[in-house]
A and B are shown apart, each in its own frame.
Chain A
Amino acid sequence: MTEARRSYLHIDAATKVFAGAAAVRDFTLDIADGEFVSLLGPSGCGKTTLLRMIAGFEFPDSGRILLEGRDITAVPAHKRPVNMVFQRVTLFPHLNVFENIAFGLQLKRVSKEEVKRRVGDALDLVRLPGFGERAVGTLSGGQAQRVALARAIVNRPKVLLFDEPLSALDLQIRRELQVELKDIHRELESTFVYVTHDQEEAMTMSDRIVVMRGGLILQVGDPIEVYRSPASLFVASFVGNPNVWPGTVAAVENGSVSVAVGERSFAAPTPPAPVRVGDPVALVLRAEALTLSPGSSASPGLCAAHGTVADVRFAGTVVSYRVDLGDRQLTVSRPPQSEILHEGEPVTVTWSPRDSILLPPEDERTP
């Protein structure tokens, strides 16, 4: 790690309590310069509160926030070199697009020519060149959020904050803007902190994902890590929509674990925390990691389960099958190009043991 990339934004044991309930609990996180970090979690997990503490709209009850080594914990929002894109449209209705974007620069007494140039650059960056004179009421939802983004980046903030800025938009525009946002991040090389409850959004854009729940961090890692090695069953189920089978450890022998699920027994990878025979576990099988084939076949080295097709859903990008195994069901997805299997057809589901995930069952103590 180079000097510049070391702990740029540092949140140190921040805690915020609202009306007796902790929104954020003892939260510590280091964010590097130029990093795109997503705070991912269900509503009420504290992600927005954390973002608002970075913005200066809320102040932690305890703990500190440091930016480039400077303690900004008590600095109010208008004196922090960070800018935010809000969930709802917050463009000033009495100002046009240009005046909205220029708002921050004019407060900083930037010269007229420079304001003009920088607003023009910002509009180019968000792909809205020539929109300066437009009234904000004439913009579409997607355009309004682009202007809001331009209004934030034009100030060259040290950290850009996003509070679910795309959640109110149509799916197609949301996808489009996700790609653009990633491009803009690459172009600006600045630090983005992005709050979302949409795991796909977090996956596609972020360098690192912070999965939160009940004001606590459950896992921090890059998207591949969070997907492949979820730290808990909650993370595994929040990211993607996997099959979860409760079972018990049947055998542990050099690097491989055998799990009993009902009458069946499957090989599984060794979990991160050591397990002993008899321990309750959850076997996580992602729908996209499973292979579906007609008839009944078996291959050595693969886990297999036989059943019949209970339901077929063609979703365009995938075909989703529900397979009835008798005592339990499995969801399996296949590419749309594959042969379509029909309801009632006997099938075999196979998977490689290393594509399954073994996790402790949901702990009552975790919030």
Chain B
Amino acid sequence: MRRPSGLGLYTVLLFLFLFAPIAVVVLFSFNKTAGLTFPFHGWSLRWYRAVFSSSTYRDAIVASLRVAVVTVVVVVVVGTLAGIGLTRHAFRGSGVVRALLLFPAALPGLFVGIALLSFFVQTKVTLSLWTVTVGHLVYVLPYFFLVVASRLQRFDYLLEEAARDLGAGPWTTFRRVTLPLIAPSLIAGALVVFSLSWDEVFITFFTIGAQNTLPLVIYSTVKQSVDPSVNAISTLLLAGSLVFIFSVRRLVVDLQQ
């Protein structure tokens, strides 16, 4: 079958458009000089050294990690419980609870950010990394819930009955049968949540206190001056995201088996 002419060219151009900016950022993160445009003057790791020696970046990385890790831990516990509760028991209004749980994902981040800010101001809560974490929780819980609930919906509850029949109480059944079987989806969901929290900007922007997270630091750096270390830190972010994406992909493959 002959392909229409020009389709190949179109595809190449499209991918060029998509990936060229990324390639430029990665390339110039290794640039010897401070220039952000061609010509490229030669390889060096000076911008990476600049990133790691800068206390602003280090603090921002630590702050982002703290927010992301706390978010992941809380969401995994709450989301798993919600998933089990809502997939296993059809109670009065469980459909409403489910819809409410998923609702924040449909809201614009800007809106959630402003709503949280006015909430924190009215309740006189001091803005800090904790308020950022609360914002992230609201935003990522639906995503985690969707991942876990879809796995639980396919879960064969007869396996739990078999475990009970063999002498396992409710907790032992959960620990020895349910948890190992849903673990890949919990990990996949946790990775998604981590990467969502790691580069979240809108909600963070409105709920942040004195300490900045990494995306906000990068944003303000770019706004203020032309600093090639931004290329280095962005490349690091990209590398991190790629690791997450491939981990999730592998887990999804595991899930399908």
B-binding residues in A (CB < 8 A): 55-57, 76-79, 82-84, 86, 88, 90-94, 103-104, 107-108, 151-152, 155
Contact = CB atoms under 8 A, between A and B. Distances in A.
Interface stretch (B74-82, B140-148, B163-171): B163-171
Interface in B116-172: 156, 158-159, 161-169, 172
Contacts of B168: 78, 103, 107
B165 A77 contact: yes
B162 A94 contact: no
Given A92-B177, A93-B181, A78 B165 contact: yes
B180 interface: yes
A151 B177 CA distance: 15
A84 B158 CA distance: 12
Nearest 5 A/B pairs, CB to CB? A104-B166, A90-B162, A77-B164, A107-B167, A78-B164
A357 B230 CA distance: 95
A57 B160 CA distance: 11
A86 B169 contact: no
A90 B166 contact: no
Nearest to B162: A90
A151 B166 contact: yes
A150 B236 CA distance: 53
A107 B172 contact: yes
A155 B180 contact: no
A55 B165 contact: yes
Contact of A92 (B163, B164, B167, B169): B163
A103 B172 CA distance: 11
The interface size bin for chain B is 10 to 19
B158 A88 contact: yes
Interface string B232-246: 000000000000000
Contacts of A155: 166-167
A103 B180 CA distance: 14
A78 B164 CA distance: 5
A328 B173 CA distance: 60
User: Which of B161, B162, B163, B177 is most buried by chain A, counting CB atoms within 10 A of its CB?
Assistant: B162
A208 B173 CA distance: 35
Contacts of B180: 94
Contact of B167 (A90, A94, A108): A108
A291 to B, nearest CB: 49
B159 A78 contact: no
A77 B177 contact: no
Contacts of A94: 180-181
A124 B162 CA distance: 22
5 contacts: A57-B164, A90-B156, A107-B168, A107-B172, A152-B165
Given A93-B181, A94-B180, A78 B167 contact: yes
Contacts of A151: 166
A227 to B, nearest CB: 33
B37 to A, nearest CB: 54
B161 A78 contact: no
A103 B159 CA distance: 12
B162 A92 contact: yes
A195 to B, nearest CB: 15
Interface in B8-66: none
Nearest to B166: A104
Contacts of A79: 167
A75 B169 CA distance: 12
B161 A77 contact: yes
A155 B163 CA distance: 13
A173 B169 CA distance: 34
Contacts of A107: 166-168, 172
A104 B163 CA distance: 8
A157 to B, nearest CB: 9
A141 B172 CA distance: 28
A55 B33 CA distance: 76
A362 to B, nearest CB: 36
Nearest to A77: B164
B97 to A, nearest CB: 24
A84 B165 contact: yes
A296 to B, nearest CB: 59
B169 to A, nearest CB: 5
B73 to A, nearest CB: 24
Nearest to B159: A90
A78 B169 contact: yes
A90 B169 CA distance: 17
A78 B169 CA distance: 6
